[in-house]
Amino acid sequence: MTIWLQNTGAIERRIETIPYIARAAVHRGLPASIRIAVVERTPFAVVESGFETAVVDHELRVLEPETAAAAGPVFVLDSGANLVPGSYVRTREATELRNSYDAIAASHIVATTLALDRFGVWS
């Protein structure tokens, strides 16, 4: 099948389902070439939820299961967070910890592990 009949938007969406890909752009060229440009996601933090750990980017998209000591902060969440590669951690707790980390980092303070206590206050 010719590349000129392919839906480039659909190709881009399929590529963007890969956890480490933020954006993809497909460009066709003459006579029969195709160029795919991608923007990669940057690992930001490690999320721990129960016995599971995963590396996430700043948007809290799960990039991969955490297998080695990763750089960046560790966010400790309650058990049950969805840590499947390609999914987003959409809990209030995760968003609050990320925003708190950003505020702390803006003050030039290095935080290594953040968690919420039983009252919802980060520690």
pTM score:
0.84
Q: How confident is the prediction along the chain (123 residues), in pLDDT tens digits per residue? A: 677 888 999 999 999 999 999 999 999 988 888 899 999 999 999 999 989 999 999 999 999 987 766 678 999 999 889 899 999 999 999 999 999 999 999 999 988 999 988 776 665
**What is the identity of the amino acid at 36?**
I
| Nearest-10 Cα torsion for 16, 112, 96, 48 | 60
Output the pLDDT for position 98: 95
| Residue 37 near residue 24, CB atoms below 8 Å | yes
CB 83 within 8 A of CB 47: yes
User: Could you tell me if 49 and 66 are in contact, meaning their C-beta atoms sit under 8 angstroms apart?
Assistant: no
Q: How many CB atoms lie within 10 A of CB 19?
A: 18
Q: Which residue ranges make up each domain of the chain?
A: 3-40, 45-115
